[in-house]
């Protein structure tokens, strides 16, 4: 069964960039529809919900931080009446060498001065979605084919197998360029040069994995420790305090240093090794987490391709290369954080990309 619908602008991807663009288009009374392959919004913005008998608390499993000087996210948080707070950084840094020997006070907190969002960054996603009419968002729809014609026909496959055809004047790919190149059949086909340019743009954080350990008490703070740790042994190479702004449950999280291709199928062993490391670094109190979660972004088809499994050694020089502008006479537009000219990869970059696409769409009408 195939259903069909019509809109002016089709946004493919319901992460922060896609939602921010939809929010802007709705405020400008433009015709649009947003589709997302997952059964949730947010993309790489995702949080773990921990419930106890007193309350529900969210912990960021994707990006968690933003910084002073990133005015787009700061202004949007104010506009949506959300609340930011400072990353906890009081106390000594811990350093673990390759033998497991731990030293204190060697270096400073690398995230000192950064901000986090009360209620996790899911609060931002939920607030944006609440300001967009529900009928303009479809979840569980994966774009498989985009055909250029008098209108652009996008064929989207529902998780149930049902096909939806959306006709639009323009399509915005608010998803990582590598994902678009890897998963969408373009008619007419994009050139090899276009596809190479898309595949040459690394997906930010796609090869990473995070472990979150939730505790009843912030025992590391009682020891005069910030929760920040650097390790040469691992499996976590970097650890930070991930607690809410006040009260518990408290949390520590760490980035896994094991390459993506060596993690698959070893999730239980990784969690066991991560807990053992937390005990080495912070003491026996780390032995009894209320919850221990592994989020491996490299295993999610909506986030990572095989090229992303190699990981990144530095922050790429992001932006939309000239070869990827004016695709299909500017009717096919790339608009993920990786295309942002200044803050590519960051949350601010997702908002910058949405702003750039919005300005482009508006200028085409003049």
pLDDT at 1: 57
User: Do residue 294 and residue 154 come from a single domain?
Assistant: no
pLDDT in tens, 63-72: 999 999 999 9
User: Do residue 36 and residue 126 come from a single domain?
Assistant: yes
User: Do residue 197 and residue 88 come from a single domain?
Assistant: no
Query: From the CA atom positions of the chain, what is the Rg in Å?
Result: 21
User: Do residue 23 and residue 172 come from a single domain?
Assistant: yes
User: Do residue 252 and residue 185 come from a single domain?
Assistant: no
Structural domain including 258 reads 47-120+207-302
How far is residue 129's CA from residue 124's CA, in Å, rounded to a whole number? 9
Taking residues 229-248, report their average pLDDT.
96
Q: What is the pTM of this model?
A: 0.96
- Closest Cα partner for 8 from 136, 177, 182, 161? 136
Asked if the structure places residue 237 within a domain, the reply is yes
How far is residue 57's CA from residue 47's CA, in Å, rounded to a whole number? 9
CATH number for the domain including 325? 3.50.50.60
User: Do residue 188 and residue 336 come from a single domain?
Assistant: yes
User: Do residue 252 and residue 275 come from a single domain?
Assistant: yes
pLDDT at 187: 95
pLDDT in tens, 32-52: 999 999 999 999 999 999 998
Number of domains forming the structure of the chain: 2
pLDDT in tens, 296-316: 999 999 999 999 998 777 899
Sheet containing 152-158: order of strands: 2-6, 163-168, 152-158, 141-148, 185-187
pLDDT in tens, 162-186: 899 999 999 999 999 999 999 999 9
User: Quick check: 161 pLDDT over 90?
Assistant: no
How far is residue 265's CA from residue 279's CA, in Å, rounded to a whole number? 24
CATH number for the domain including 94? 3.90.660.10
């Amino acid at each position: 069964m195939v259903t069909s619908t019509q809109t002016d602008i089709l946004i493919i991807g319901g992460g922060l960039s896609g939602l921010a663009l939809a929010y802007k288009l709705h405020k400008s009374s433009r015709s649009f529809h947003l589709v997302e392959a997952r059964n949730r919004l947010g993309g790489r913005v995702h949080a773990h919900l921990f419930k106890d008998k007193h309350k529900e608390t969210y912990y960021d499993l994707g990006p968690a931080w933003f910084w002073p000087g990133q005015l787009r996210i700061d202004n949007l948080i104010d506009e949506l009446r959300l609340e930011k707070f400072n990353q906890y950084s009081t106390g000594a840094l811990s350093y673990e060498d390759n033998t497991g020997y731990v030293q204190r006070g060697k270096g400073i907190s690398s995230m000192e001065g950064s901000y986090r969002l009360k209620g996790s960054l899911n609060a931002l996603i939920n607030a944006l979605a609440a300001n967009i009419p529900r009928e303009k968002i479809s979840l569980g729809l994966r774009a498989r084919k985009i055909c250029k014609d008098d209108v652009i026909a996008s064929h989207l496959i529902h998780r149930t197998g049902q096909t939806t055809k959306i006709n639009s004047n323009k399509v915005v790919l608010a998803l990582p360029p590598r994902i678009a190149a890897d998963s969408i059949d373009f008619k007419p086909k994009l050139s090899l040069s276009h596809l190479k340019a898309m595949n040459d743009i690394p997906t930010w954080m796609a090869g990473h994995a995070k472990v979150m350990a939730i505790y009843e008490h912030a025992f590391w703070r009682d020891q005069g420790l910030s929760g920040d740790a650097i390790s040469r042994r691992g499996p976590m190479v970097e650890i930070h305090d991930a607690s809410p702004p006040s009260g518990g449950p408290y949390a520590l999280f760490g980035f896994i240093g094991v390459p993506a291709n060596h993690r698959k199928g070893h999730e239980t062993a990784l969690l066991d090794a991560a807990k053992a490391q937390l005990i080495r670094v912070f003491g026996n109190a780390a032995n009894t987490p209320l919850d221990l979660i592994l989020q491996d972004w490299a295993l999610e088809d909506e986030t990572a391709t095989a090229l992303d499994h190699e990981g990144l050694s530095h922050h790429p020089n992001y932006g939309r290369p000239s070869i990827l502008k004016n695709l299909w006479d500017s009717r096919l537009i790339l608009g993920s954080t990786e295309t942002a000219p200044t803050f590519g990869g960051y949350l601010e970059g997702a908002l910058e990309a949405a702003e750039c696409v919005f300005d482009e769409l508006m200028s085409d009408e003049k």
